[in-house]
Amino acid sequence: MNRKPTKRMELRSLIAFGIFCAFLLCLVGNLFWLQIINGEEYRLKAEKNQLSDTVVNANRGTIYDSNMKVLAQSASAWLVYINPSKIKTDEQKTLLVDGFVEIFDLDPETVTKKVNRSESGYEKIIGQIDNAQKDALKEYLSKHKDQKLNTIVGIDPDTKRYYPLGSFASTVLGFTGSEDTGRSGLELKYNDILTGEAGRIITAKNALSGEMPNDYETTYDAEQGKSLVLTIDEVIQYYLEQQLSQAIEETQAKYAYGIVMDVKTGAILGMSTMPDYDLNSPYKIYSNSVLEEISKIEDSAQKSQAESNALFSQWRNRVVSDSYEPGSVFKLFVAAAGLEEGAITTTSTYNCTSSIKVANYYQHCYNHKAHGTQTVAEALPNSCNTFFITLGQKLGKYTFNKYFEAFGFTEKTGVDLPSEAAPAPNKTYYTVDRMGIAELSSASFGQTFQATPIQMITAVASLGNGGKLMTPYIVDKVLDEDGNIVSETEPKVKRQVISEKTADIMCDLMEQVVVWGTAKNAYVAGYHVAGKTGTSEKLNTDDQCIASFAGFAPANDPQIAVLIAVDEPQYYATGGSGAAPVAGRIFENILAYLNIDPQYSDKEMAQATVTAPNLVGVESAKVRSKASGFTVKVVGSGETVVSQMPSANQSMPKNGVIVVYTEENAEKQTATVPNLIGLTLADANRLAVNSGFNIKIAGTTQGAGQVLSYKQSIPAETTAESGAIITVYFRSSENVTD
Amino acid sequence: MATKKKKSPLSFLFNKGAMDVPFFIILMTIVTIGLIMLFSASYTYSYYFRTSSTELFTKQLIYCGIGILGMLLVSRIRYEYFKVFSFVVAGVSVILLIIVRLLPDSVQPGFYRWIDLGFITFQPSEIAKLGLIMFLAFCLEQHHKGVVGKVPSDLGVCRFVENASNGKYVIYKSFTSTIAYGFFILLFAVLVLIENHVSGAVLMLAIGVIMLFLGEVKNKWFIVGVVVAVFAVILFVMNPDLLKEYAGERIVAWLDKDYEPLGARWQTNNSLYAIGSGGFLGTGLGQSKQKHLYVSEPQNDFIFSIVCEELGFVGATAIILLFALLVYRGIKIGLRAKDRYGALLAMGIVFQVGVQVALNIAVVSDFIPNTGISLPFFSYGGTSLVILLCEMGIILSISRSARKKD
């Protein structure tokens, strides 16, 4: 029997081997597809699995005011996340949802959604939680240790932004949203600088989330956020906000906004839009009237839309983002252009008959008043419309527009704040080719175009600094984490708009406006305030106006520019009655704070001295209100005042000290007399009042140079009765030798 | 100088012919690479779940040594002696398959594949594969004429049909014996299937069909077989519900690549990540990242994905080529065997290895649905390796008594 393998078997074995090889070839082809063609894709997927990528958050920088007072700061907090792919059982899911809802007061639906994303490796549950909440979570996790929740839940360091002063400068500073990113204001504008760059540590991990023994570890260091030092001065900002709030209270205006600027540099010392909001809880609507309106809306979609609108309105920095018709304040620039171009001189006159016919219409002065023959030095204080219409026409639209542009009304100021309103040709102002005689005439007294408050104050400041239009700025310095200066803002001159000479004339003219003109409510004795008021109708709102004041002080050496606008005052208010007094109070506070000494005229000096009120017999409780303006020191616990120092009707400084005694035979209060020699008037006064004394000014306080004290009636270092009047003698150090 | 060696008393048992050296070299190359890759693939798993990171490798190394010794011993034995035991091995296989089904599912709940002897566990199906091959090789040699030629069957029923139809319908031996072989193949497959071991059953069928093909069963049977197989595959792919729950789900997971990434497809996806990560040249030996517990039990069925990751497309293709060469050389040995039994046995064993390799790689690379087939000489498993190596010994033994060129 031939048992040899047959030919057929050989053939069949080759066929079988052929099929086998064909199959192997398919497999090799498949491997080629997987490894060569799609290898990269799989490799990335594998890496995503294998690498544990830990983010090391950079600390957000701090925001300081110019005195290094903290305005915004990040504090450490915690962030909770889960790895839903590690969830094995429904019981774990339920525990997680219950726990998060209970501890963090979250919406159960949202949490459930996150927990159910089983293919996801990372779902953030909540950020910016404090230690107490973190501890509560940890306790919850350890309570359910048997469910191994801690393999699912992770807690990472996070930061939370705090604004120690609450609503302070809120529309300027802005706030941060989730993920620690700026949402508005400086927080938004300087987000990149403040944020820094988060670092990462990338390590390999195995499927049990343990470390994979591998040299693959890459660390990217976190670059800490940088800090900002603002030009904003906490004290100035405080005065500004206080006065604006008061203005709203007095006039029931919808908004009031103001800017305080360093005339010489363009640095913004204060900026505010009132009403404001608390930066620590920006999502709350603070206006009661708005809340009331919203509560009336029934449709839920409309309601949430209204809520969102209200919030955006609340956060809006109107000083930069809104524009308004500047009205008569703009006459300053027409006057400056007229003087610069020689269209008028300080002596040229014009006769105002209360109205002027412009293209078939009559344009009137305010209240149809006829101002008669006047120079620019009278027309400006009178805010005479016809004068400026005539002047505008005389300049012609080309020259008018040249100055309109030169003073910066056709461009953004470039202030380092977000969402500055951009002037739009033929929308917010007329271009030359669209401007007719009627538009030119109206524009000459500040109507038919719009400007932002920041544009206005920048232009006004140029009148006070010798004609230089500055670029306003609010961030003075950028500091690194160790406090080293990374960059410092240099004041930037945009252009010379008018000559220094014209600017000086403007200062004088503007001071006249405050001394006797429409802005007299901004007058502060000794501080030579210069300015201009404006009251403009709002074109888009019926019967509403914006009352504004813009000016600077002291007129002989301008330091501080102030713009105040009261938007839609409900009680009758004009620039002169509504805005100028606010500005006056701000000037008074700020200039004193900045140690800019008042320079009183003799007349002012007389006004600065008053007679002491008679407080004897007044009830102790009422003595302070009876003697408002004075610093009153009550000694003893009697019910009525029995004696006072200085005594009634004695002449004493306006803001001096009065010591009142409520008990008979009470021991007289005494204090050590300070050395008042070699001081300016303001310093001497401050020091005396702080020590419990009054000064009586003797000698001259007028003069261009320094006026210093050289003698005092009660010698220094002696003891004297509190409230006593010390005569201090002053003399000027300049122009006294010849 | 031919000096006659002293004859051993057992010399009748031994074969002094030279073994096939190429086959041996290819085999040892595969075994060596397999051991190295097992070491690389198993050390993380071993580190985390065993006493030391080399525990699994050490065990495998010892079994490999035993296996090679066994192989060399077996290769010395004249394979005619195995022939005698063909029915015995087949019978023992069937008994073991029945016993294993009756034992408790102690190794893995729901699965009845292992017999635990305390010091070793082994899968009776490993022996059953050899049993089936030996059984069919024996039968196909013995009944060669009947299978190939036109010999009427002498079964009573067949005679009756022939007589009743006046010789119009003749039932030949080729028909009856093929039916009989089919029955036995199905018996083995079903016994493995009820262990809850679908891949083992498929393997059993594949081995059976290849044996019948090599044993020269008539072509028409294979045409019918292919048609039936194609229909069956289409049916089950279209309706995975018809299969038992876990098998059906694996088909669903194969069809839908986004199906339960953390459940049914976790293993396959991570295997693909590993394969893809390898790229052309691989990450380098020992450099696999996916073996860090992403590929579950990387030392077992999915070891080839780690091979792909570390050795790249080049390495993987080289290993596939080595296996192809092994099969080719095995066929050569078979065709040079001195009888058909030897030929069928050698080719059956070598194809068993080949099919298992092909199916394993197909599973690992998501070419077919996931099913538990280990990669011969690579996957961890001591008894399996010893049995495999002994089977290789049989092939070597056959090679020793090859015909001289005729």
How far apart are alpha carbons A273 and A262 in whole angstroms?
19
Contact B311, B285 (CB under 8 A): yes
pLDDT confidence of A647, banded at 50, 70, 90? confident
**What is the chain A residue with the closest CA to B275?**
A35
Question: What type of residue sits at position A64?
Answer: Y
**What is the chain B residue with the closest CA to A215?**
B287
Q: Token digits for B341? A: 């039994």
Residue A374 has pLDDT above 50, yes or no: yes
**Inter-chain touch A49–B270, beta carbons under 8 Å:** yes
How far is C-alpha B83 from the chain's CA centre? 19
B213 contact residues in A (CB cutoff 8 A): 12, 15-16
Q: Token digits for A317? A: 């920095």
Give the 3-state DSSP-derived string for A365-388, with helices as H, strands as E and coil as C.
Answer: CHHHCCCEEEEHHHHHHHCCHHHH
| Pick among 3.40.710.10, 3.40.190.10, 3.90.550.10, 3.40.50.720: CATH of A323-593 | 3.40.710.10
Q: Which of A24, A49, A119 lies at the smallest CB-CB distance from B294?
A: A49
Contact A423, A402 (CB under 8 A): no
DSSP secondary structure letters along B129-174:
HHHHHHHHHHHHHHTHHHHHS-PBP--HHHHHHHHHTTTSS--BHH
**Neighbour count for residue A501 (Cβ, 10 Å):** 12
Q: Which of A218-222, B279-283, B292-296 has the highest mean pLDDT?
A: B279-283
**Which residue has better confidence, A44 or A271?**
A271
**Inter-chain touch B331–A17, beta carbons under 8 Å:** yes
Residue A555 has pLDDT above 60, yes or no: yes
Average pLDDT of B184-193?
93
Radius of gyration of chain A (CA): 36
**Inter-chain touch B289–A30, beta carbons under 8 Å:** no
**Inter-chain touch A36–B339, beta carbons under 8 Å:** no
Q: How far is A44 from chain B (nearest CA, A)?
A: 8
Contact B349, B331 (CB under 8 A): no
pLDDT confidence of B316, banded at 50, 70, 90? very high
How far apart are alpha carbons B313 and B303 in whole angstroms?
15
Q: For the ranges A380-394, A672-686, B295-309, B339-353, which has the lowest average pLDDT?
A: A672-686
Nearest to B320 by CA among B304, B338, B302: B304
Residue A738 has pLDDT above 50, yes or no: no
pLDDT at residue A736, as a whole number: 37
Looking at chain B, the number of H-run helices and the number of E-run strands are 15, 2
**What is the chain A residue with the closest CA to B324?**
A21
Q: Which of B212, B221, B289, B309 to mutate to test the interface with A (most CBs of A within 10 A)?
A: B289
**Inter-chain touch A6–B340, beta carbons under 8 Å:** yes
Which residue has tokens 């001065």?
A233
pLDDT at residue A588, as a whole number: 84
How far apart are alpha carbons A534 and A550 in whole angstroms?
8
> What is the ipTM for the molecules in this complex?
0.93
Average pLDDT of A8-33?
93
Q: For the ranges A516-525, A655-664, A676-685, A699-708, which has the lowest average pLDDT?
A: A699-708
Q: Which of A23, A41, A212 lies at the smallest CB-CB distance from B276?
A: A41
pLDDT at residue B136, as a whole number: 93
How far apart are alpha carbons B79 and B58 in whole angstroms?
32
Q: Which of B213, B275, B341 lies at the smallest CB-CB distance from A35?
A: B275
**Inter-chain touch B358–A23, beta carbons under 8 Å:** yes
**Inter-chain touch A34–B365, beta carbons under 8 Å:** yes
**Inter-chain touch B340–A30, beta carbons under 8 Å:** no
Q: Which of B280, B331, B341 lies at the smallest CB-CB distance from A35?
A: B280
Question: What type of residue sits at position A672?
Answer: T
**What is the chain A residue with the closest CA to B144?**
A3
Q: Which of A3, A4, A43 lies at the smallest CB-CB distance from B277?
A: A43
How far apart are alpha carbons B262 and B194 in whole angstroms?
28
How far apart are alpha carbons A541 and A559 in whole angstroms?
36
A3 contact residues in B (CB cutoff 8 A): 141, 338-341
How far apart are alpha carbons B29 and B377 in whole angstroms?
10
Q: How far is A127 from chain B (nearest CA, A)?
A: 28
Contact B169, B161 (CB under 8 A): yes
pLDDT confidence of B23, banded at 50, 70, 90? very high
**Inter-chain touch B276–A214, beta carbons under 8 Å:** no
Residue B2 has pLDDT above 50, yes or no: no
Residue A557 has pLDDT above 50, yes or no: yes
Nearest to B394 by CA among B100, B113, B129, B124: B129
How far is C-alpha A687 from the chain's CA centre? 32
Contact A394, A348 (CB under 8 A): no
pLDDT tens for each residue of B105-153: 777 777 888 888 877 888 899 999 999 999 999 998 888 888 887 888 8
**Inter-chain touch A206–B292, beta carbons under 8 Å:** yes
How far apart are alpha carbons B313 and A537 in whole angstroms?
80
**Which residue has better confidence, B8 or B345?**
B345
Q: Give CA separation, A590 vs A235, A265, A527, B100, in Å.
A: 8, 17, 11, 98
Size of interface A-B (CB pairs under 8 A): 151
**What is the chain B residue with the closest CA to A36?**
B279
pLDDT confidence of B36, banded at 50, 70, 90? very high
Q: How far is B132 from chain A (nearest CA, A)?
A: 18
Q: How far is A117 from chain B (nearest CA, A)?
A: 12
Q: Which of B213, B292, B308 lies at the smallest CB-CB distance from A35?
A: B308
How far apart are alpha carbons B366 and A34 in whole angstroms?
10
pLDDT tens for each residue of A131-155: 788 888 888 888 887 777 777 888 8
Q: How far is B256 from chain A (nearest CA, A)?
A: 16
Q: Token digits for A622? A: 């009422």
Q: Taking each helix axis from N to C terminus, what angle separates A385-406 and A437-444, rounded to the nearest 10 degrees?
A: 90
Question: What type of residue sits at position B353?
Answer: V
pLDDT at residue A735, as a whole number: 39
Nearest to A209 by CA among A53, A43, A41: A53
**Inter-chain touch B339–A4, beta carbons under 8 Å:** yes
How far apart are alpha carbons B156 and A645 in whole angstroms?
148
pLDDT at residue A476, as a whole number: 93
pLDDT tens for each residue of B239-263: 877 777 677 788 888 888 777 776 7
Q: Which of A4, A13, A39 lies at the smallest CB-CB distance from B214?
A: A13
Q: Which of A42, A86, A117 to mutate to test the interface with B (most CBs of B within 10 A)?
A: A42
**Inter-chain touch A35–B337, beta carbons under 8 Å:** no
**Inter-chain touch A43–B279, beta carbons under 8 Å:** yes
Q: How far is A14 from chain B (nearest CA, A)?
A: 8
**Inter-chain touch B276–A12, beta carbons under 8 Å:** no
pLDDT at residue A663, as a whole number: 82
**Inter-chain touch A24–B358, beta carbons under 8 Å:** yes
Average pLDDT of B331-354?
93
DSSP secondary structure letters along B208-249:
HHHHHHHTT--HHHHHHHHHHHHHHHHHHHH-GGGS-HHHHH
How far apart are alpha carbons A5 and B338 in whole angstroms?
8
B277 contact residues in A (CB cutoff 8 A): 39, 42-43, 46
Radius of gyration of chain B (CA): 23
**Inter-chain touch B327–A17, beta carbons under 8 Å:** yes
- Where do the structural domains in chain A lie, given as residue ranges? 53-229, 323-593, 602-732
Nearest to A698 by CA among A629, A609, A595: A609
How far apart are alpha carbons B302 and A586 in whole angstroms?
81
Q: How far is B51 from chain A (nearest CA, A)?
A: 18
pLDDT tens for each residue of B282-310: 888 887 777 776 777 788 889 999 999 99
**What is the chain B residue with the closest CA to A33?**
B276
pLDDT at residue A210, as a whole number: 59
In DSSP terms, A485 is beta-bridged to A479
**Inter-chain touch B365–A27, beta carbons under 8 Å:** yes
**What is the chain A residue with the closest CA to B141?**
A3
Sign of CA dihedral A501, A506, A512, A515: negative
A83 contact residues in B (CB cutoff 8 A): none
Q: Which of A12, A24, A40 lies at the smallest CB-CB distance from B213?
A: A12
**What is the chain B residue with the closest CA to A210?**
B292
DSSP secondary structure letters along B266-297:
HHHHHHHHHHHHHTTT-S-TT--STTTTTSSS
- Residues sharing a CB contact under 8 Å with residue B150, sequence separation 6 or more, in sequence order: B172, B174
Which residue has tokens 């071993």?
B46
B292 contact residues in A (CB cutoff 8 A): 50, 204-207, 212
Architecture of domain A53-229 in CATH? Alpha-Beta Complex (3.90)
**Inter-chain touch B338–A10, beta carbons under 8 Å:** no
Contact B281, B314 (CB under 8 A): yes
DSSP secondary structure letters along B101-120:
HHS---SBTTB---EE-SS-
**Inter-chain touch A119–B320, beta carbons under 8 Å:** no
Q: Token digits for B308? A: 């792909």
Contact A329, A453 (CB under 8 A): no
Nearest to A566 by CA among A576, A551, A578: A578
Q: Which of A5, A16, A21 lies at the smallest CB-CB distance from B340?
A: A5
- Where do the structural domains in chain B lie, given as residue ranges? 38-149+181-216+259-400
DSSP secondary structure letters along A622-674:
GHHHHTTTSEEEEES--SB--EEESPTT-EEETT-EEEEE-STTPPPPEEEPP
Q: Which of A7, A14, A27 to mutate to test the interface with B (most CBs of B within 10 A)?
A: A27
**What is the chain A residue with the closest CA to B356?**
A20
pLDDT confidence of A206, banded at 50, 70, 90? low
